[in-house]
Structure 1
Amino acid sequence: MKNLSIAIAIALPLVAALPFPAIADTGNLGSDFSPAMLEAANPAKELSSDDRTTIGVRTARERLSNDSPDWTDSAVSIRRDLGVRHLVEATLVETERFDLSDTQINALYSFPVNAALTATLEGNTSPTHRVLAKNAFGGTLQYEFAPAWLLHGGGKSTRYDDVRVNQGVLMLEHYFSSYSWLVGWRPTRAFGTTAHAVEARGAYYYGDKNSATILIAAGKEAASIGTDVTLTSVRSLVLIGRHWLDKDWAFNYSIGHTRQGDLYERNGIDIGVQYNF
């Protein structure tokens, strides 16, 4: 790919988060997929150094196997690209889980440290925090140690009413031809116990700026189950994609299945549109 290092260098917001559901950060594995994720994974042609603004809207719904009410999310986001590997993004989220409604405000800032190193700072807060965390803060570094090879590492601390959850991330990513793959490890510390999760991703880039990604994740996590936070096992399989309708409008989607230990299974879909100007 032409200028591949430009394309993959913005991928940090993507690897700081797991895939599905796509909007609210509930602390669940696969729950904090950033709207920047698909943008980050696209070829260099899309990721120019020109200043631009992107606005997006998204909605998601998940059905649970234990007859609990459906989970729903909606969000509006605004992103400003300030240059190559340099962006700021803010998102307002409304979510409903287990008949509990929450509002969450997310912010992300990514910037180049040097030609090979990119840093990202992210945080969120929920003024209601009935099912979501009170707040979370984290940072990640992305290092291109060889052409088309990236190493990602970082951590995040999430505060609930009664517990603090600390999570690390270490990932290896490689781009080749019209494809990329990623493998990662996520240790989580909560309740005096360390849990571990692993993930793998494979992406295909087609047309001018389009992409489709398969994500698989498994392990243990600290998950928000209603008003309680607990360590559970989890298995997730997700398809995520972006398809450009023209040079300014894009359609985003994700379809996923998650098994949350013996508690329930979740099947969901997330759709959204974005506009660049």
Structure 2
Amino acid sequence: MRGARLGRPLALALLLIGAEAVAEERRLEGEISYRYDSLDSGFDDWQTQRLDLQSTRPGDTTWYGAALRERRFGTWDEGLELGAAVPLDDNWVLQPEVGRTFGADFLPEWYADLRLQRRLPQGFVGSASLRRTRYDASRVDRLALGAERYWGNWRAAYTLNVSDVQGAGNPVGHAVALDRYYQERSVIGVRASVGREEEGLPGGRVVTSDVTALAVRGRHWLDDDWAVSWELGSLSQGDLYDRHGIQLGVRHAF
């Protein structure tokens, strides 16, 4: 399952821990989003519907979850995601996350992810995560190592993904991101990735292929309580297909 959360990454909580941040009130936000992907090579177009909830307070635990429906290859899968970002002290954040799909056809039956982040000098944040993803006919274990840097209104990030796909090798992928924040909470950014990635197919099968992807995304707050989110992206999944997608969402703070 691929999340659709936007806004300042949870790693930024490390940079906000302090007397002023702790004084802020807890904030609950919900977002409804819809994504449409057009595929070539004779594949049916994809659709994704999500309802995301997130409860945040700088310096305190962040709780989040989502309910989702995805249509691929002419069939629907539904699932749930739950997670938290728990500050251990002024420098460390532990982030467990789990997901479960009901009657999975192409999405994984379940996944579990454990991420550890540490604040470093000069606006850097380092992270490492381990994830196990279980499909009906395969298993994928992934190690992700990341580095981020914040300066002014900017954030840059790099992630190295190394996977162990049961019966399908050890794909390695690279991802970079650049974000610019404006008007305090709004953001616009670009994402790019290259390497080999796994892809779930009907019947719980998993294949690996060369992937190149590029996306532009953002969230713009209209006032204190309402925001719109968006994403435009293109992905080449090796010789399988090329995919072009658009996602739109509406977010509200309660």
Match of 1:226, as an amino acid?
P
1:253 to 221, 230, 243: 230
**Is 1:213 the equivalent of 2:179?**
no
What does residue 144 of structure 1 align with?
Answer: 119
2:65/2:82 contact within 8 Å kept: yes
Match of 1:268, as an amino acid?
G
What does residue 12 of structure 1 align with?
Answer: none
What does residue 200 of structure 1 align with?
Answer: 176
C-alpha deviation, 1:90, in angstroms: 1.5
2:110 to 135, 138, 141: 135
In 2, the alpha carbon distance for the partners of 1:86 and 1:276 equals 18
CA RMSD of aligned residues (A): 1.8
* TM-score (normalizing by structure 1): 0.84
More off after superposition, 238-247 vs 186-195: 186-195
Match of 1:216, as an amino acid?
A
Structure 1 pair 61/85, CA: closer, same or farther in 2 (3 Å)?
Answer: farther
In 1, the alpha carbon distance for the partners of 2:195 and 2:3 equals 18
Tell me the secondary structure at the aligned position of residue 115 of structure 1. coil
In 2, the alpha carbon distance for the partners of 1:152 and 1:251 equals 29
C-alpha deviation, 1:83, in angstroms: 4.7
In 2, the alpha carbon distance for the partners of 1:61 and 1:115 equals 40
**Is 1:33 the equivalent of 2:3?**
yes
* Deviation sequence 1:172-220 (CA, Å, 0-9, x none): 1111122111111000101352110001111111223211111110111
What does residue 223 of structure 1 align with?
Answer: 199
Flag as ranges the 4+ runs of structure 1 deviating above 3 A: 41-44
C-alpha deviation, 1:82, in angstroms: 4.8
What does residue 4 of structure 1 align with?
Answer: none
1:85/1:118 contact within 8 Å kept: no
In 1, the alpha carbon distance for the partners of 2:172 and 2:90 equals 32
1:123/1:138 contact within 8 Å kept: yes
C-alpha deviation, 1:85, in angstroms: 4.8
1:213/1:241 contact within 8 Å kept: yes
1:154 to 129, 139, 149: 129
What does residue 19 of structure 1 align with?
Answer: none
Match of 2:179, as an amino acid?
A
1:190/1:222 contact within 8 Å kept: yes
What does residue 115 of structure 1 align with?
Answer: 90
C-alpha deviation, 1:67, in angstroms: 2.9
In 2, the alpha carbon distance for the partners of 1:115 and 1:134 equals 36
**Is 1:171 the equivalent of 2:146?**
yes
C-alpha deviation, 1:70, in angstroms: 1.0
What does residue 52 of structure 1 align with?
Answer: 27
* TM-score (normalizing by structure 2): 0.91
Size of the alignment, in residue pairs? 244
Structure 1 pair 93/130, CA: closer, same or farther in 2 (3 Å)?
Answer: same
2:7/2:185 contact within 8 Å kept: no
Q: Percent identity?
A: 20
C-alpha deviation, 1:69, in angstroms: 1.5
**Is 1:188 the equivalent of 2:158?**
no
Segments of structure 2 that go 5 or more residues without pairing to the other structure are: none
In 1, the alpha carbon distance for the partners of 2:221 and 2:187 equals 9
1:66 to 23, 41, 44: 41
In 1, the alpha carbon distance for the partners of 2:84 and 2:50 equals 18
C-alpha deviation, 1:154, in angstroms: 0.8
* Deviation sequence 1:131-186 (CA, Å, 0-9, x none): 11100001101101214101011110000011110011001111112211111100
In 2, the alpha carbon distance for the partners of 1:152 and 1:57 equals 29
* Deviation sequence 1:38-86 (CA, Å, 0-9, x none): 2427896xx8742121111010000001232210010112222255251
